[in-house]
Amino acid sequence: MKRLAYLALTAAVIGGAVFWVVTMPKTVDAAAFAGITADAARGEAVFTAAGCASCHTAPGAASDAQLVLAGGQSFASDFGTFIAPNISPDPTHGIGDWPVEALATAIMAGVSPEGAHYYPALPYWSYERLELQDVADLHAYMQTLPPSATPSQPHQVGFPFSIRRMVGGWKFLNMRPDFVVQGDLTEAETRGRYISEAMAHCGECHTPRDPLGGLDTSRWLAGAPNPSGQGTIPNITPAKLTWSEDEIVEYLTSGFTPEFDSVGGHMAHVVENMSKLPESDRRAVAAYLKKVPASE
């Protein structure tokens, strides 16, 4: 019995040590940005494609108020309700005092300046694929936006999901830097993949998830239940999205479908953002969607 107890204790210690190592928060070093010159004008396009304002403006904000990233919108999920934080350049309540590497660590690694794991309600699973130049440009642009002194609200997450260290385990199981769609891609398809899989993080909503909330990439963009519990998010692989590339471009420009229906819900924000990008980017997304493997 003593030997069994000793073995159990040893296994527990080793297991705890392994868990501690694999769940350790990772950071992006400042040296990664050496030689990169940020451009706020380019950063505006990154900000728009990434949909930052869609989630981080105050509830009900419209027009220019959408650039005040005060946070406060709530997003329900099976794991709790997440409240978008203030990411305005306010140095106290926002991210105004963050250097570029802190922003990169937050959106690409999901780790706060204090070293805590962020919940994957922040789509760092997708943002991990961002190019550092785009992150630097995004950082420069966000510093030009209006500050807000609105305090961020705490998430409404219960035990055991409230244990932040466990998010490190989720990352260990799910975080992969590779793009999902592989193979020979044209220049336009490659650009569309970058916009769709990294910046616009389309897979975060349109891909089904496993019981732990990880994306099931074997059914990439095949549709998923709406986290709000109301309806489903559609399959946008060629198995269901049979629109032509021109029709996809028109939808991403005007919000009108070939059936003369109009966009609604959160997708209205996505279309609003896409419509502000160059037409070549919308055409790149359309070309990419035609390249995605069909999935029922």
Give the C-alpha separation, 56 to 73, whole Å.
7
Q: Is residue 77 part of a domain?
A: yes
Q: Cα(11)–Cα(5) distance, rounded to whole angstroms?
A: 10
- The CATH number assigned to the domain holding 242 equals 1.10.760
Residue at 108 is within a domain: yes
Asked whether residue 43 falls in the same domain as residue 154, the answer is yes
In this structure, are residues 157 and 80 in contact, taking their beta carbons and an 8 Å threshold? yes
74: enclosing H helix or E strand: strand 74-77
In this prediction, residue 217 carries a pLDDT of 95
Helix, strand, coil shares of the chain, percent, nearest 5, are 45, 5, 50
Residue 4, pLDDT score: 61
Residue 232 tokens, joined: 């489903």
143 and 45 housed in the same domain: yes
What pLDDT is attached to residue 18?
A: 65
Distance CA 57, CA 73 (A): 7
pTM of the model: 0.90
Q: Which domain holds residue 152?
A: 36-158
Low-confidence ranges of the chain (pLDDT < 50): none
pLDDT at 12: 57
The alpha carbon of residue 21 and the mean position of all alpha carbons in its chain are separated, in whole angstroms, by 25
Is residue 203 a part of any domain in this protein? yes
194 with 274, same domain? Answer: yes
Q: Which residue has the tokens 């059936």?
A: 259
